[in-house]
Amino acid sequence: MNHREIVIIGGGIIGAAIAYYTSRAGYEVTVLEKNALASGTSSKCDGNILAIDKDPGFDSQMSVVSQDLVKELTNELDIPFEYRNPGSILVCENEDEMEAAAKWVAQQQEAGLPFTMLDRNDLKNESKYFADDLHGGLECPTDATVNPYLLTYSLMEKAKQLGTTVITGTEVRNLETDIYNNFNISTSKGEFTAKKVINAAGVWAPHIGHMLGVDIPIKPRKGHIIVSSRQNPVGPRKVMEFGYLISKFGGERQVDEVTEKYGAALVFEPTESQNFLLGSSREFAGFNTTVNMEVIKCVARRAIRFYPSMKNMNIIRTYAGLRPWTSDHLPIVSKVDDIPGFYIAAGHEGDGISLAAVTGKVMAEMIQDQDDTIIPTEPLRLSRFKHAEVKT
């Protein structure tokens, strides 16, 4: 019989981080992944480990904890994952945004984060490619960047050394519990049983939840990315427009109809190999990951607005991924009250790379029934949605 102590469903960055921290805590772990590792959202994204775009308070504090853990991972894991720690900046197009940015900085400073404002000159020193009419911005020096695909593999590789079994090409098709609170897991490659099951299936987590009659309010929120060819360095670190925050949290922006429709906002990320990634868009379009050229053009226009000479630079490819969205922009990292041994770690929307490490660590602590977890778990509980209506 294929009996396991812990089964993790999903081999994305969240499943990989949980596998690493739980096997490090001494558990016997098996990961079931329907395709290849990192074949879901974790390979169709950027690689930013950010605090700059998090709600001041619990959200940003949790991100800073994760940033520290990722720094530690550079020493703990064997496969390098292109970690760099250059900080990041948000740029403002007008004085209204500068005012809102100043408030954002004040709130973050109050929460103990080292945010500072930037003026026009600071931007000129940052990149000669910036448009002349930008007003300034703000900076978060603790922000980092990784290659998310490599980090997923690196975590999983270490987890394997610690005893984790990784089974790819294996789809979980049904889940049931028996009278002894064991789980019976039917997959495309046979039956397993387990004492505990962790649902780390990203945008597919609701599907896994339904197998046990659990409603998990996560929806796919599509995002497009453009990859440039290698060329002169445009800038040393991550840049976003301030409007990205408004787009993320659902506020109103002063942009044209198409930009608003696709939630397009500049996200610039230089990679270690001097390509750069340009994003991004936000829309509810089901599970379809086909690239829509209308959205790509919109993202490109937005980039050229901030970096006019990009109109003469070359791109090599485009892709789209599905962010696992929740209505309050926090992930669900939680036990399920009615089903002992069933846990959820999903719904990280655009922050799953940033929050993977803290998610893995806190899930390992929850499994051990530890009271003093690395971050408070109350805000991440599934039960916060019990009476909430899910709106998109």
Q: Which residues bind ligand FAD (CB under 6 A)?
A: 9-15, 32-35, 39-42, 44-48, 171-172, 200-202, 204, 208, 223, 225, 279-280, 321-324, 346, 348-354
Taking residue 21's Cβ as centre, other Cβ atoms within 10 Å add up to 26
Sheet of strand 116-118, all strands in order from the earlier edge strand to the far edge = 116-118, 136-140, 88-92, 238-241, 267-270, 276-279, 219-228, 315-325
Min. distance of Cβ 133 from ligand FAD in angstroms?
27
Query: Which residue's CB is nearer to ligand FAD, number 98 or number 330?
Result: 330
Query: Which residue's CB is nearer to ligand FAD, number 56 or number 331?
Result: 331
Distance CA 344, CA 338 (A): 13
Min. distance of Cβ 222 from ligand FAD in angstroms?
7
Min. distance of Cβ 38 from ligand FAD in angstroms?
6
Element (H, E) at 208: helix 205-211
φ, ψ dihedrals at 283, nearest 5°: -155, 155
* DSSP calls for 254-307: S--HHHHHTT---EEEE-TTS-EEEE---B-BTB-----HHHHHHHHHHHHHHS
**Residues in the chain, overall count:** 392
The answer to whether the CB of 154 falls within 8 A of the CB of 78 is yes
Q: Angle, nearest 10°, between helix axes 58-76 and 148-161?
A: 60
- Give the dihedral of Cα atoms 287, 222, 357, 31; nearest 10 deg: 10
**H helix count then E strand count, the chain:** 10, 18
Min. distance of Cβ 9 from ligand FAD in angstroms?
5
Query: Which residue's CB is nearer to ligand FAD, number 136 or number 359?
Result: 359
Helix (H, G, I), strand (E, B) or coil at 12: coil
> What tokens appear for 120 in the block?
């026009």
Query: Which residue's CB is nearer to ligand FAD, number 37 or number 98?
Result: 37
- Which residues partner with 31 through β-bridges? 8, 166
Min. distance of Cβ 329 from ligand FAD in angstroms?
11
Min. distance of Cβ 354 from ligand FAD in angstroms?
4
Query: Which residue's CB is nearer to ligand FAD, number 9 or number 362?
Result: 9
Min. distance of Cβ 110 from ligand FAD in angstroms?
24
Query: Which residue's CB is nearer to ligand FAD, number 263 or number 321?
Result: 321
Min. distance of Cβ 82 from ligand FAD in angstroms?
13
Q: What is the DSSP letter of 114?
A: -
* DSSP calls for 37-100: TT-SGGGSS--EE-STTSPTTHHHHHHHHHHHHHHHHHHH-SS----B---EEEEESSHHHHHH
Distance CA 9, CA 199 (A): 5
Distance CA 127, CA 192 (A): 54
Min. distance of Cβ 331 from ligand FAD in angstroms?
8
Query: Which residue's CB is nearer to ligand FAD, number 73 or number 98?
Result: 73
Min. distance of Cβ 149 from ligand FAD in angstroms?
10
Min. distance of Cβ 249 from ligand FAD in angstroms?
15
Query: Which residue's CB is nearer to ligand FAD, number 147 or number 354?
Result: 354
Query: Which residue's CB is nearer to ligand FAD, number 135 or number 325?
Result: 325
Query: Which residue's CB is nearer to ligand FAD, number 123 or number 146?
Result: 146
Query: Which residue's CB is nearer to ligand FAD, number 104 or number 244?
Result: 244
Cis peptide before 354 (omega within 30 of 0): no
